[in-house]
Amino acid sequence: MNLQDQAMAFSRTIRTDVLIVGGGLAAVKAAYECGKNGMKTLVAIKTRLCSGASFYPLTGRLGCLAPRREDPADEDDFLEEINAASQGMNDPALARTYIAEIHDRIRELPEMGVDCHLMANNRIACFAQREREIYYWEDWNRTRGRISLKLAMMPEIALLERTTVIDLVKDGMRVVGAIAVNDRNELALIHARAVILATGGYGDLFRHNLNTPEVSGDGHVLAYRAGAQLANLEFIQFIPGYMAPRYKVLFGEPCLRFCTGLFDNSGRDILSSQLPAGLTAEACFRSRAGHGPFTSADESQYFDIAIMREIIASGQEDGVRITFDRRMAEDSGDHNYWYVQWMKQEMQIDLLQDRLAIAPFAHAANGGVVIDRNAWTGVPGLFAAGEIAGTMHGADRIGGCSSGNCLVFGKRAADSACGWAREQDPETKLDVSLTELWSKWQNNSGSTPVPPEQITRQVQDIMWRQAAIIRDEAGLDAALSEITAMKEAFAPQDWLKRGISLPGIIRAEHDLCLAPLVLTAMKARRESRGSHYRADFPRRNDRKYGRRMILKY
């Protein structure tokens, strides 16, 4: 039985100039700019407005990095540092665009409803070499309320919340709309003259992550199937997070200057045996205090590797114990003093009294859909912005550039989409049948007893164990084999017959598409570079791998 045989049909047809898919900072910026341009704009969001990594509730604030305005030479220095952190894996043209425009985008935040502040005591951002201007915003509920009010005052903008875009519609090579389903299993056909994907990264492809569940790579699958290129999927940042006493709270790396050890559940030190000759635990902690995400590029790597090896060897996922020196809370002039107070008051974690356990969490994707400086994907009518868009960043990413990336390319995507939409025929007819939609699934003739929700959990488990901090050929091969077998056995229409909701089926189907792509990129890069660490190839190899890995449908 296919959908044509069921009662399911398009419950509504919607026409819009621009469709924006996503609800985070890049989507908000793009929507606001489209509204200012007078374009009829529809924002389709899996959950609600102001969601995703941009508004992760267990992070205190979001920061944005900008060059020093009083030092004209800093723009060139900033570009050099972005390129150096990316280790040859980024597109410098995107970095130049970011640097040239970020101050203008920051100035626009208040009109969008974001109360932005310049940090008084700047520190060097992760993977940067010099201090720069850091702008920040916080208080997610207040920010969400103000942004929602601003967009509600723009009659051109409509929101479609709790809605998953399941496919893009094309006329020849051109994207002309999308098919979406809401949480009531109602299908909508959306006519759009231009589409902007702003769905974020794919952190929720891994079991332990510091994202919300909607950050699962839906947009990557949509773009890939529409003909866009994906690059740098192997470069995903992992960052320590708390497993206990409160799960999924972001770790503050500067406190590692006061770290006194990493231990297993029996109290055995787990770091010393992992350190090379001549490197002390104290030196490793000091190096690791300089950046939040893991990197294979410096001696701090052994901190994360030791944690992951202990978790894999023990078979336990409750993390490893970490302890701190009480002097961390004695100097009120030190950043860590205030961090200790904030963690206690806001996160209910006492860093000096509680039993603390940490583990590596997936945090941010440095790769994604290839775009040009105008946020165009190379597919007519399709644009992308924010974390979904790859190649501004590379092997490592300087801290504070991710949120700025959302602002700069959110606006550029809006400007490009509006310009494209004005040139298209607003009365283009979409000839779309539901049978055609599901033809992509008809090769899946298997029948599996594993429900879609369990498939998602199994994929997350496999990815976190085999494709997180420590990767090797055997593990990646095993992960690919297992997920490929799940994909071949998965029969979406079988689960539709059983009354399973379509969004859950779509999530599982997208997981089974994206996970093998990520694993393929990790397997192909047989070296260690930045956030990508291969235990069987621990050195960087520019001669063989000094280029981006590109995947195309």
Q: Which residues are paired to 365 by β-bridges?
A: 236
Selection from 376, 16, 446, 362 nearest residue 196 by Cα: 376
As to burial, measured by CB atoms within 10 angstroms (0-12 exposed, 13-18 middle, 19+ buried), residue 460 is: buried
Q: Looking at residue 7, what is its pLDDT?
A: 42
Tell me how crowded residue 110 is: count the other CB atoms within 10 A of its CB.
Answer: 12
Selection from 206, 157, 291 nearest residue 464 by Cα: 206
How many whole angstroms from its chain centre is CA 492? 26
Strand order in the sheet with 133-138: 61-66, 133-138, 117-118
Selection from 436, 379, 6 nearest residue 179 by Cα: 436
Tell me how crowded residue 30 is: count the other CB atoms within 10 A of its CB.
Answer: 35
Reported in sequence order, the residue ranges of 198-356 that DSSP labels E, i.e. its strands, are: 229-231, 236-244, 249-250, 259-263, 320-324
The distance in angstroms from the start CA to the end CA of the chain is 28
Say whether domain 3-235+366-422 belongs to CATH 3.50.50.60. yes
Q: Looking at residue 4, what is its pLDDT?
A: 40
pLDDT digits (tens, 9 = 90+) for 64-121: 999 999 999 999 999 999 999 999 999 999 999 999 999 999 999 999 999 999 998 7
Selection from 286, 237, 259, 251 nearest residue 399 by Cα: 237
Q: Looking at residue 8, what is its pLDDT?
A: 58
User: 55 phi and psi, to 5 degrees?
Assistant: -125, 40
Q: Looking at residue 58, what is its pLDDT?
A: 79
The CA distance from 89 to 396, in Å, is: 9
Say whether domain 441-552 belongs to CATH 1.20.58.100. yes
User: 545 phi and psi, to 5 degrees?
Assistant: -130, 25
pLDDT digits (tens, 9 = 90+) for 295-335: 999 999 999 999 999 999 998 889 999 999 999 999 888 88
Selection from 533, 540, 516, 393 nearest residue 472 by Cα: 533
The CA distance from 75 to 358, in Å, is: 37
Map out the domains of the chain as residue ranges.
3-235+366-422, 242-361, 441-552
The CA distance from 201 to 432, in Å, is: 29
- Intervals of the chain under pLDDT 70: 1-8, 428-429, 431, 433-448
Sign of the dihedral defined by the CA atoms of residues 347, 349, 351, 355, in that order: negative
